[in-house]
Structure 1
């Protein structure tokens, strides 16, 4: 069994091998002996993004999966890096068939009673599992999704290391906090642990299938629950081509433009009507059959959107299509983004410039070809103003960018505004007097009425506490410090006044007595006291007048 120390050493060696030793030394100074770039021939003749991909592949399933998820963050990473990370999608090294059969026998001991044949060569091989084509006893073609052996233990170990690295990155490079590395790793950890349970994927597929019962042209694979287990999933085998393969779609006699529009509207329904959407729409997870149906695959990443968040995203899209800066700011705040008051005007200016740089003209809104650039600029603005980007908003924007990218690949004339604006207008009209809207409006009215009715009681309670002396007034620390400083200055002046008065009174008594009974030297002491009192008095008068003049200025 690999321990954390051994695994950490493996990660250090692999990252150093591909030329990232200096970065590791900056994150963990003096912790280990890192190789310098160029020490290993694996780093020669490749770009930094290629080396990142190669390192992730060699680091194993957890890092491959992390790279796959990061390949969807087009709003954060450079296009060259996205292109390399996309190559991780379906090219994980397959598990030998002997190990696959061991897993099948462990999860389904009577598999020979159910399956007539299982093909040795996998159809697809991913970081967590791989898919084999098989046939049931009645000849039905099915897909077997089998989890890689020992993967839960490997993932648990790697997640701990990734969390440590994310914490160090935020500490050493504070400017990265706007991207929330710790939050990204935590979300990834939460996500990948859920993906280890294949029955969760199956439940997600069933739920989406029910949501699309009355939506023609969109399908989800059938799940064979009687054979499925958490590490072994049996589902309908779907034959088709990737949704971004425009020529193959044409060869099947289907219209790429119609496919793109239907896929886009399917996502609009998932997000705005169901609040439950497929969160990983890379082309390998969307197939087009010869009948022209779009079939969704891989339901490990699913987004959930509560009704109030759906309304915020509707407002954000309306803002983008109508150049409405104030609506955009309110929408961002609706997602929990806190904007400092002193940054508001500057942020408005930046958003105004962004909208007009990427719109088709005054009031025309953002075109579909520029939506990805707008997302990038929006994220850059958040970075400049140190705004924390919530992960649910980034998932929504990521899904929209990816779906629009597929639409444009299928038809370069695909129009974002033309497709989304009528849908949002219809949705807004439908929601105006919908059951959910009326319920929220009723709740708001009841809360307002309750507050109004409670006002006399609250005022009476406050007056009673004032009369009994139990009223508490909270003062912030800064106010207490200012009050203390003022009291200190007042006490100093009072002490000086008392000293001057004492010197005057004491010296007068001494002079009066010394003229009769005391020696001459005592008289000079009294005169000295008078002199000190006069000097102190002049200093006090000057100090008060000078301070008052300075404060007035």
Structure 2
């Protein structure tokens, strides 16, 4: 098992080898010892090619990370995307003696399970290798077997990648816009899913069910009695690569028919099922003698919920119709956040991209130009988008490239638009949408019918004196001040009233023998009460007018 320290040393050595010694100095712990060890001899290769070569030499974790990053056209320059798409995870195979114990974990007695297991693998990749086997009952299987020790190596590399992302964020603040730590977390989730071959098998079976009504598509059957987390047993299928035009013709098939069948299969997966094969490079798509397209490798799967499918349809329709407002609206629904300060500039750039696409002769350009233009615009303004959107766009571009290779007259735009219109209509008139609309209408009607009852309940609550009123501190202070002023006026009124009543009583009994000054006080009380009364009326009128203003 490679320790974390040893792995750091290997990474540093590879970076220095390909001329990235300065990067190693900055981000590798203890990298200062590498100072001055950049690439000595002049290298004519581009920086992007050297990045790709370094990634390949660093091993499976970094190759997988590079392959996933090759879908992020909104983040990386086109030249780097092109190099990352060339990443190959074909490696030297592990000797059969090391693979045999992994197979034995899923079948204790190999002699009872198999007549033959070919020691020479059919194919070898960074995470697994494929061996052809024949069972006791004569079935020919392909055994996808996980490479021993790969899980520990990847977990070590994931820890290192997290550490490097944190150091890069600290040392290079400008990189924070790319959310490097978030990228590593997304990648960790993806590669751990790929390491679980049980999930691979479940993905295959779901694709098989979804595409069961398409006779031109074949998904190998999974044999669960011989499968588990580190081995997947499936039917062995003979076929040629889908991009091998001459081999397809040698089978007596028409490449144009294969292109049309593959296109229809992906349209159904993406826009109808919302569950699609996410890695359609030619090595994962075979064509059988019967003209069937065989899908292989189910580790990368795109998932689109129904509401997202509708938005993606709207996005592609808007792009095909040069509708910039529609494109922006669809992106917004996909949680793509565009800074208002650059929104007009983004719209202008998108408009130019779509105009260039529409005004160019249709034979010279395909819909991929519009998609690449969109992703280039997003990258230029550093606008992040959901990974699912980028996977879908990557798949569409790869399907177009394969389609054009098989059929030079293949035009994605002309083919996709009728499908999108039909799908958009079907989605809006689907049972789920109709049911949702009916439920909304029923809910609105119930709300209207409930209004009299709610009003009655409110009045009843008011009459019972059980209403709770929430007040802010400012409102409470104002109420206290009003109460204080009102209480002062009430006190004055009571006093004045008492004086009037008292003076009246005194004058009423004036015929009795009382001192003269008492009568004088009564008269003065009347005068005081009149003055205070007039002042109170004047004050009330003045404050009333002020309030109205």
What's the counterpart of residue 423 of structure 1?
Answer: 419
Distance change in 2, residues 1:384/1:90 (3 Å): closer
Greater Cα shift, 371-380 or 334-343: 371-380
Match of residue 374, structure 1, among 370, 374, 395: 370
**What is the CA-CA distance between 1:316 and the residue it aligns to?**
0.5
Q: Which residue in the other structure is 2:11 paired with?
A: 11
- Secondary structure of 2:33 counterpart: coil
Alpha-carbon spacing, 1:55–1:383, altered in 2? closer, same or farther (3 Å): closer
Q: Aligned partners of 1:450, 1:170: CA distance in 2, in Å? A: 54
Which deviates more, 209-218 or 14-23? 14-23
Question: 1:56 is matched with which residue?
Answer: 55
> 2:228 is matched with which residue?
229
CA distance in 2, matches of 1:76, 1:249: 37
Other structure's SS at 2:105 match: helix
1:402-422 CA-partner distances (Å, limit 9, x unpaired): 111111111221111111011
1:33 aligned counterpart, secondary structure: helix
1:49: Cα distance to partner?
Answer: 3.3
Q: How many angstroms does 1:153 deviate by?
A: 1.1
Alignment of 1:41-52 (within 5 A): 44=43, 46-52=45-51
Mapped partners of 2:341, 2:387: distance in 1: 25
CA contact (8 A) 2:220 2:237 kept: yes
Q: 1:152-551 to 2 correspondence within 5 Å?
A: 152-177=151-176, 179-360=178-359, 369-445=365-441, 470-472=470-472
Q: Distance in 1 between matches of 2:72 and 2:284?
A: 17
Whole-angstrom distance in 1 between the partners of 2:421 and 2:177:
33
Distance 1:451 1:173 in 2: 55
Partner of 1:132: 131
Provide the C-alpha distance between the structure 2 equivalents of 1:454 and 1:171, rounded to a whole number of angstroms.
58
Tell me the secondary structure at the aligned position of residue 204 of structure 2. Answer: helix
Q: In the alignment, is the contact (CA less than 8 A) between 1:194 and 1:300 conserved in 2?
A: yes
Q: CA deviation at 1:174?
A: 4.7
Aligned to 1:2: 2
SS of the aligned residue for 1:234 comes to: strand
Match of 1:519?
Answer: none
Any residues of structure 2 matched to 1:27-106 within 5 Å, and which? 27=27, 31-34=31-34, 36=36, 39=39, 44=43, 46-73=45-72, 76-77=75-76, 81-106=80-105
C-alpha separation between the residues in 2 aligned to 1:63 and 1:188?
Answer: 10
| Of 157-166 and 298-307, the range deviating more from structure 2 | 157-166
> In 1, distance between residues paired with 2:412 and 2:12?
45
Residues 1:20 and 2:20 aligned together: yes
Measure the CA separation in 1 of the matches of 2:7 and 2:450: 62
Distance 1:67 1:314 in 2: 29
Secondary structure of 2:143's partner? Answer: strand
**Distance in 1 between the 2:280 and 2:406 partners?**
15
| TM-aligned CA deviation for residue 97 of structure 1 | 1.4
1:38–1:44: 8 Å Cα contact kept in structure 2?
Answer: no
Q: In structure 1, how many angstroms separate the alpha carbons of the residues matched to 2:261 and 2:167?
A: 44
Distance change (3 Å), C-alpha of 1:242 and 1:427: same
Deviation at 1:183, TM superposition (A): 2.8
Gaps spanning 5+ residues in structure 1: where? Answer: 476-553
Structure 2, unaligned stretches of length 5 or more? 476-549
Give, in whole Å, the separation in 1 of the partners of 2:474 and 2:304. 39
For the Cα contact (< 8 Å) 2:20–2:39, is it kept in 1? no
C-alpha displacement of 1:358: 2.0
**Aligned residue in 2 for 1:494:** none
Write the deviation string for residues 497-543 of structure 1: whole angstroms up to 9, x where unpaired.
xxxxxxxxxxxxxxxxxxxxxxxxxxxxxxxxxxxxxxxxxxxxxxx
Residues 368 and 187 (structure 1 numbering): CA distance in 2 closer, same or farther, change over 3 Å?
Answer: farther
Kindly state the Cα deviation for residue 159 of structure 1 after the two structures are TM-superposed.
0.8
Between the aligned partners of 1:224 and 1:358, the Cα distance in structure 2 is: 47
RMSD: 3.2
1:172 CA displacement: 4.2
Cα 1:383–1:51 shift into 2, 3 Å: closer
Structure 1 residue matching 2:302: 3-state secondary structure = strand
Tell me by how many angstroms 1:46 deviates: 4.0
Inter-CA distance 90–162: structure 2 relative to 1 (3 Å threshold): closer
Aligned to 2:119: 120
Shift of 1:281: 0.8
Q: Are the structure 2 counterparts of residues 117 and 373 from structure 1 closer, same or farther at C-alpha, using a change threshold of 3 Å?
A: same
The C-alpha deviation readout for 1:482-503, integer Å capped at 9, x for no partner, is xxxxxxxxxxxxxxxxxxxxxx
Q: Is the 8 A contact 1:367 1:416 kept in 2?
A: no
How far 1:155 sits from its partner (Å)? 0.9
TM-score (norm 1): 0.77
Q: Determine the structure 2 residue equivalent to 1:478.
A: none
SS for the counterpart of 1:471 is coil
Give the C-alpha shift of residue 452 in structure 1.
Answer: 6.5
Q: Look up the SS of the partner of 2:385 in the other structure.
A: coil
